[in-house]
Amino acid sequence: MKIVTYNVNGLRPRISQHGSLRKLLDSLDADIICIQETKLSRQELRADVVTADGYESFFSCTRSLEKGRTGYSGVATFCKVQSAFSSNEVALPLDAEEGFTGVLDNSRGFATRKDDSQVGVEELEEFDRDELLKIDSEGRCIITDHGHFVLFNIYGPRAAHDDAERIEFKLTFYKIMQKRWEALILKGRRIIVVGDLNIAPSSADRCDAGPDFENNEFRSWFRSLLVESGGGFFDVFRATHPERTEAYTCWSTNTGGEIFNFGSRIDHILCAGSCLHENKDLEGHNFFSCHVKDCDILTQFKRCKPGTTTSYRWKGGKGTKLEGSDHAPVFMSLIEIPDISQHNTPSLSTRYCPQVRGCQQTLVSMLSRRQSTEEVKAHEQSGSSLDEETQVQSCEHLCKTPVHESIETHLVADELFTTASLAEDKCSQGYVSVHKKTLSLGSNQTKPTPCPEMKKKSKKNQSSQLSLKSFFHSTSTSNKAVKSSTASTSLNHTNNTVMECVTDIMKESESNGSELDQSQCESDACNSSPADKSKVALLEWQRIQQFMQNSIPVCKGHKEQCVSRVVKKAGPTFGRRFYVCARAEGPASNPEANCGYFKWADSGSKRKHDS
């Protein structure tokens, strides 16, 4: 029997990468596959992402409405079975439960079963119901009972060192989780815990561990669970490979740490309990010693393949094309696991989820739908059409909307500056994108043509696009007009970065006496041919590129141009631009890795980047 744990960093991207959910699961070649960070809400549980032939699935999704937590985390357990009904396979669970506090309304299995495997209320009396509900509302745990053992699929919370609220949440999360484990062990149950716990237990499990690394409270808690510290759990990978170093399962996506294997081991498999042999009094008999055959990291799923480290130069952001998750799966193979009694799929399975398989219609809903259809037909026969009114109103709205407001101002500099003709094309065709978004009237309806007033306005805007400078001026004006929208923060942030470069160029032009009178530029642009305009714009763009190249500093370690980044973390430096070495992060002993160069874009000060 084989169990795999894998933080997929978004289930949909992994399905797209492999072609289908079935192909993704088959590639892992396991009987039980525990996935973390699905990033799916309950409304997104559709057949194509939760069901695959030959597998039963159990999902937990976030219910939190907290900002930044919606559509986040999520875990899923897939069980490979030959039959979902009347099966004696160990992979098919007897029971299943979402969360681990027992307070979720839709929890079935353990939460509703009257047995002693559930944590009693008295054991969690120090926590109120709202606190327990908050712990389970982020979709971080699925529990499945496989008869011989109880399997916990966990996505542990992440907490930055300066985030007191999340640190407290993480402490409470694992405190309650441990109570659940202890309750099961006291009843003689065997436990297997798998998942991304977001804890590297020791300095051997972290690339840049400092002298105080192991003093962290979460690492101390993790080690207290282990047999060598008097606990009941085995860290299966470390117990199997006690001397292995640089065995990591997660790498930073921001710094390209995977290229030089600069990561941490935070994806774990733990087990506790007795073996399945009849004579349990034999010395040295336990679940790990008697039933664990092997455990290792599936490095073939790493994004960065061997042989690319010497020639690869980390660019960061959208320019980096590494296919796959930033985690690698971990597997454990078990031996001598006998079959269990005949049983069916637990009710928590997604095969019983209404939005996956659909739900039975009531007679009332069917008649209501039929009545609505008859009303539409009667309305069509009367000759009146609301769609025509919609078209007229939409057209009037378009005629009153400035064309430049539809320009996608969030493009990065490399896309925005391609040529001045690209900018002119966007201005002249701006009404098309608005037109399509506003007048999507269905496949059976004729699409309205833009009104004459709209055409005139687009031509006027096209002829008024005189220079690259005036294009940026209109773009910044447009950004101010839409500043109140929810997306304005990111748009304005990108434009401000671009405008800084343009402003510097304008200042340089003024100091050199090379700036032309604006009115003269407009007159020349109006009288010149399109070819002349394109040539002038190309020269201006080349000058901008040259200026930007000259303004990018060179790192001290490799004498290579740095990459520009922006502070995204809330604080006094939020939104500031800075430059860092373009190489991927790696150990300090590796000269090919990042040299640590750092410089603020608006300051001459430099300091070693402390990651």
532 and 421 Cβ atoms separated by less than 8 Å: no
Q: Any known ligand binding at 37?
A: yes
Active site residue 579: no
Helix, strand, coil distribution of the chain in percent, nearest 5: 40, 15, 45
Grouping H, G, I as helix, E, B as strand and the rest as coil, residue 387 is helix
Crossing angle of helices 217-224 and 164-186, in 10° steps, is 10
Q: Any known ligand binding at 512?
A: no
Neighbouring residues of 460: CB distance < 8 A, sequence distance ≥ 6: none
Catalytic residue among 148, 327, 435, 558: 327
149 and 191 Cβ atoms separated by less than 8 Å: yes
**Cα-based distances in Å from 193 to 143, 373, 398, 479:** 9, 53, 58, 50
Q: Any known ligand binding at 198?
A: yes
Active site residue 610: no
Give the Cα separation of 165 and 155 in Å (integer).
18
298 and 4 Cβ atoms separated by less than 8 Å: yes
Q: Any known ligand binding at 53?
A: no
149 burial class (0-12, 13-18, 19+ CB within 10 angstroms)?
Answer: buried
- Identity (one letter) of the amino acid at 118? Q
Grouping H, G, I as helix, E, B as strand and the rest as coil, residue 254 is coil
Grouping H, G, I as helix, E, B as strand and the rest as coil, residue 580 is strand
226 and 235 Cβ atoms separated by less than 8 Å: yes
Grouping H, G, I as helix, E, B as strand and the rest as coil, residue 528 is coil
471 and 422 Cβ atoms separated by less than 8 Å: no
Q: Any known ligand binding at 327?
A: yes
The phi, psi pair for 155, rounded to 5°, reads: -115, 100
Q: Any known ligand binding at 106?
A: no
Neighbouring residues of 133: CB distance < 8 A, sequence distance ≥ 6: 101, 103, 104
What do you get for the CA distance between the two ends of the chain, in Å?
A: 40
Active site residue 327: yes
Angular region, 541: left φ>0, alpha ψ -120 to 50, beta rest: alpha
248 and 265 Cβ atoms separated by less than 8 Å: yes
Catalytic residue among 136, 196, 205, 235: 196
Residue 471 belongs to what H/E stretch?
helix 468-481
Catalytic residue among 55, 72, 155, 597: 155
Residue numbers annotated as active site? 155, 196, 327
Q: Which residues fall in the annotated binding site for Mg(2+)?
A: 7, 37, 196, 198, 326-327
Binding site, annotated residues: 7, 37, 196, 198, 326-327
